[in-house]
Amino acid sequence: MASSPVDTQVLIVGGGIGGLTLAAILQRLDIPCIVLERSSTHTPVGAGISLAPNGLRMLDQLGIYEKVLAAGQKLRKVQIWRNDSQWNTLDWSPCEAKFGYPVMSMERHHFQRLLHEAAGGEEFVQYGAKVVDVIDNPSEPGVKVILDSGKEYRANMVVGADGIRSVVRRCLARDEGMKEANTIKFTGRVHMSGITEPLANLNSEHLGVANWMLYDHATLTTWPCHNNSQWFIGVAKSEDAVATDRSVWAKCTEDTINKVYGEGFHPFAESGKMSELVNKNQRILASNVFQETEFPSMSRGRVCLMGDAAHSMSSAFGQGGNMAIEDAAVLANLIQANRDSLDNAAPFLTEYSDMRCKRAQDVVKFSFRFILLHGAILPYGIGKLLRWLVYAFLPASTWLWYLQWLYGYQPTVDALGTPTKASK
């Protein structure tokens, strides 16, 4: 009997949010897949994450939403501060009734663990598997994927879910003959992020309360997590403006963050200073902010991209992970619809790219414009005036009305049935 020309149907490069969500869906659809992840083990990553209704519905369908509810915190209110004076409080609780799901925040490594379990754990996710090349020769059966160890795999289709510095994306650009292999560019800014232990000075009134801090020199947001622990995230100009493709992750300490934000006011600190929260952190990190600058296709032949590999965006409105989940849902529907002809994946991967590009482009633009608004980055004082008008006077109902286009689109996988919450 001739052996199969491919090792698996779907090969996913990268075991982050997008790759693991897709793998979890394919497990449930009984479609063979393998995830190749370069990290040597399943390790804690990041500080916190916000999950929005546009991503939560897919997680609900996978049975993960209930676990997110147990481990995370619903966003109830957003307090907006200009230095130490409060501009506004937005009541975010109607979000759940309006969109079926709230905005949830939780520890990021916990979320990653939930996805890892849903994707079938180490049986399906191969760690220490760093992909260095992807070769899609139409005259050969399957796409060839080569690891740094020299090991090779073949699959009927390959999904590049390998994040901002995607190798798969670079291979596609090379095959396309593009001069610029990477259109995702360093913005000259750096994210600084951390998560505190539960803050003993807070009580039940503080649960679910986020604070947007607009300091004179920088902005910072604290998101409420379980038991009044807070994850904080700020964006500041990188001191190393030429760090075009290098993470500054390793260099970040409490001092790095305190140097920028430590003296700033924070309402949840007994001392009133943000440094108090930073010093109660359990894990801090920094990473460069990248953004897509032009939109190449999200597929070529039998290879496609998803998540940050396809459309990196600022984290300002917490959408990059949610968009990776959306990609997974849309792609999985097409894989399911074509499950009997996965050896001819190119046509439906083109369809996937067509379906996702516009949405991704809209969300990248929105995230960028939100940074301009949030940081008051418009000339002649217009930025400050606009920010004051929007932040001090717009009620939450107007924000939520506007966000219909973003939160109201909640792709799921038809073959998996009604999400648990929606069916209640």
Ligand X SMILES: Cc1cc2nc3c(=O)[nH]c(=O)nc-3n(C[C@H](O)[C@H](O)[C@H](O)COP(=O)(O)OP(=O)(O)OC[C@H]3O[C@@H](n4cnc5c(N)ncnc54)[C@H](O)[C@@H]3O)c2cc1C
- Residues 60, 96, 136, 162: which binds ligand X (CB under 6 A)? 162
130 binds ligand X (CB under 6 A): yes
320 binds ligand X (CB under 6 A): yes
37 binds ligand X (CB under 6 A): yes
Do 273 and 264 meet the contact criterion of CB atoms below 8 Å apart? yes
Cβ 222 to ligand X shortest distance, Å? 12
Number of residues that bind ligand X (CB under 6 A): 34
Residue 247 or 388: the one with the smaller Cβ distance to ligand X is: 247
49 binds ligand X (CB under 6 A): yes
360 binds ligand X (CB under 6 A): no
Task: Please give the residues from 189 up to 208 whose contact with ligand X meets the rule CB under 6 A.
Answer: 191, 193
Stretch that binds ligand X, among 11-19, 68-76, 267-275, 337-345 (CB under 6 A): 11-19
- Residues 211, 319, 410, 412: which binds ligand X (CB under 6 A)? 319
Cβ 169 to ligand X shortest distance, Å? 10
- Residues 106, 161, 210, 332: which binds ligand X (CB under 6 A)? 161
3-state SS assignment for residue 113? helix
Residues in CB range of 296: below 8 A, 6 or more apart: 172, 173, 176, 178, 183
Cβ 129 to ligand X shortest distance, Å? 6
324 binds ligand X (CB under 6 A): yes
3-state SS assignment for residue 392? helix
Written as six digits, the tokens of 378 are: 């418009």
| Burial grade of 5 (CB within 10 A; 0-12, 13-18, 19 or more) | exposed
- Residues 219, 275, 315, 412: which binds ligand X (CB under 6 A)? 315
Do 192 and 236 meet the contact criterion of CB atoms below 8 Å apart? yes
Do 67 and 422 meet the contact criterion of CB atoms below 8 Å apart? no
Task: Please give the residues from 164 up to 193 whose contact with ligand X meets the rule CB under 6 A.
Answer: 167, 191, 193
Residues in CB range of 270: below 8 A, 6 or more apart: 201, 276
Written as six digits, the tokens of 27 are: 């497990």
Of 314, 322, 323, nearest to 372 (Cα)? 314
